[in-house]
Structure 1
């Protein structure tokens, strides 16, 4: 063997050693020493002949110690006990910033049985992401096998079937790219396995957003500073920004969503806030267009200084829009009169519950220019 070949092999040896030491699968011990939890809130036991972790109340959680997860496959068995939810968190930096997949335990077999929703600034974005819920069957008195494949911006979720995903997420919307794992909600967990970097050829790049091809969406807006509204006062024109007020640009995210939760968080200390959005629509002719508007939670729309539309989308109240109080382009529609030339559209948006934002789309894109 030549000296050059020997040196080459010596260089390869540390890499080979690291490859041998890197685990292909981690069987996570369901023992108290491996988890953070409230004393009395979690029980470690043997259940149906396997080691298990039992979360005892709806409000309790268990956070895995000393594991930083970025990409890979996570599998576990779960028997739900909670009457409402049982959740799994990944890329968890804190209770306020994480990715989350959960079961609505009373909705097995229904269209909203499972949901993906990140936490941004402590706000669960379930009401802004109705497209990330799905139907699946799961049992309340037996093990249900759950598998998540997470790769960069994408995720696939399997429940009681490792071939056909029940939920496909083309773009994970959380602010985190790595972090810990956790569970909450009453449930029994067993057979937790983490396979780092094993992503089953799932692309790490975000999937396409077909609405990017649709020019009718209003995507470019100017944004004011939010204000906290007085108690028992619904709306006042006095809250409109002054002529010399500062504005900043904001662009729509996926599906044309102006995501105010990502920008401002939710309701701090349960205080209702209002922010103003404005944009310009240039029309070469006078015309009336129909606007489809998704919104959460309350909106006041003006065109050229005149009231055009006002509405509320308040979850569990009579003003709730379909689907189930979530922000959707199907929430509402109204007529928007446009003059020839520039038209200033302003929307005041109030936060009442969880996430807030808007999606706006015109019925036709004819003789129009947006945002100029």
Structure 2
């Protein structure tokens, strides 16, 4: 009995030691932007205004992150980052208080090369409706295990968001708190627990297999200025000659997130993705296409389509999210055909997905 009690005590001590409460000071956090200390509704807290805090511990991979925050129904984006490899590459969860109760009130997105991708990852497993009290304290908890995570908002027994699959590599990193936008957010009672087996209460769904005809590999170019494609019905030869290529595998949905390998910037906001289609005869094939934000489609060097799915381009609530919204009929010759997509981006997610509804008679 003594040995059992001793063992139990060791486990209890280990769990308590693993839970770390962190004060908001410069010895524990790197601070960028404006931070102020105050007491609100009886709690000592900080206020962040367009600012970020970066925990100096770089070893969080699996476990629980908890804190309290206050929110107001304004347009801003307070949240938490985790597994930060650096300030440009991390996992992120944030809330949109101005969308309280709407399907995008809370959001998970991977960040690659400083590019968030909420237009590529939305809906089940990425964003959902949530409600919470305004102008008073609400408790936030993230439970992270491997490629899965959950976010609890207020209710500790029911996850508000179940993240079926985190998109970045499972590697340790830092934790951050941030508030993007012109409205102040309060944070209090920050703590985290490192454990490889945090309790997860949600139902996790496996990724659906690729649909028939999905293009699963693209050759992706280096970046260039979108303006190079203006007023041209063919691919500019001087541009084509300077391109370098990387093969990028698609996710099971067919999605290719260009920010995994490229950084968006002024004068580098466009990219080519290409695939070779081998046809056994001259024929027309229907290409179902998703893209963000703008696309020029070339078949054998000639422009056949141009479109845009920019934020609010369809109506005032259109988020610019990617999907198979566009259909293009490809006029293929017998033998080798080159399909090139020039894809340009403003913000919110840079990517494509393509599927040929009936791939009979072609290989790619």
Provide the TM-score with structure 1 as the length reference: 0.81
258, 266, 277: which one pairs with 2:264?
Answer: 266
Aligned to 2:128: 134
Counterparts of residues 155-304 of structure 1 (less than 5 Å): 155-174=149-168, 177-185=171-179, 186-197=184-195, 199-200=197-198, 208-210=206-208, 212-230=209-227, 233=230, 235=232, 237-238=235-236, 242=240, 246-267=244-265, 270-304=266-300
Distance, in Å, in 1 between the alignment partners of 2:287 and 2:228 is 31
Aligned to 1:6: none
Deviations 1:106-163 (CA, angstroms, capped at 9, x unpaired): 1110111011112211112222222312111122222222121111221111212223
352, 356, 364: which one pairs with 1:358?
Answer: 352
Distance, in Å, in 2 between the alignment partners of 1:321 and 1:290 is 30
Contact 1:115 1:133 in 2 (8 A): yes
Larger Rg: 1
SS in 1 for 2:310: coil
Cα distance change, pair 134–72 in 1 and its aligned pair in 2 (3 A): same
SS in 2 for 1:130: coil
Distance, in Å, in 1 between the alignment partners of 2:90 and 2:98 is 24
1:49 and 2:49 aligned: no
CA deviation after TM superposition for structure 1 residue 48, in Å? 2.0
SS in 2 for 1:276: strand
Cα distance change, pair 310–48 in 1 and its aligned pair in 2 (3 A): same
More helix by share: 1
Aligned to 2:339: 345
Q: Root-mean-square deviation (CA), in Å?
A: 3.3
Which is further off, 238-247 or 222-231?
Answer: 238-247
Distance, in Å, in 2 between the alignment partners of 1:250 and 1:28 is 40
Gaps of at least 5 residues in structure 1 are: 1-8
Contact 1:118 1:173 in 2 (8 A): yes
SS in 1 for 2:98: coil
Which is further off, 238-247 or 337-346?
Answer: 238-247
Counterparts of residues 50-129 of structure 1 (less than 5 Å): 50-55=43-48, 57=49, 59-66=50-57, 68-81=59-72, 83-129=75-121
Contact 1:97 1:175 in 2 (8 A): no
Cα distance change, pair 225–26 in 1 and its aligned pair in 2 (3 A): closer
Distance, in Å, in 2 between the alignment partners of 1:61 and 1:222 is 36
Contact 2:144 2:198 in 1 (8 A): no
Distance, in Å, in 2 between the alignment partners of 1:325 and 1:245 is 28
Counterparts of residues 313-352 of structure 1 (less than 5 Å): 313-316=309-312, 318=313, 323-330=318-325, 332-352=326-346
Distance, in Å, in 1 between the alignment partners of 2:196 and 2:130 is 24
SS in 1 for 2:253: helix
SS in 2 for 1:126: coil
CA deviation after TM superposition for structure 1 residue 229, in Å? 4.6
Provide the TM-score with structure 2 as the length reference: 0.82
Deviations 1:263-315 (CA, angstroms, capped at 9, x unpaired): 11212xx2243322221223445443322211112211122344332112222
Gaps of at least 5 residues in structure 2 are: none
CA deviation after TM superposition for structure 1 residue 167, in Å? 1.7
Contact 2:149 2:162 in 1 (8 A): yes
Contact 1:272 1:351 in 2 (8 A): no
Count of aligned pairs? 347
Distance, in Å, in 2 between the alignment partners of 1:63 and 1:150 is 18
1:25 and 2:26 aligned: no
Deviations 1:41-62 (CA, angstroms, capped at 9, x unpaired): 222333222332222x2x1222
Contact 2:235 2:302 in 1 (8 A): no
Distance, in Å, in 2 between the alignment partners of 1:194 and 1:244 is 48
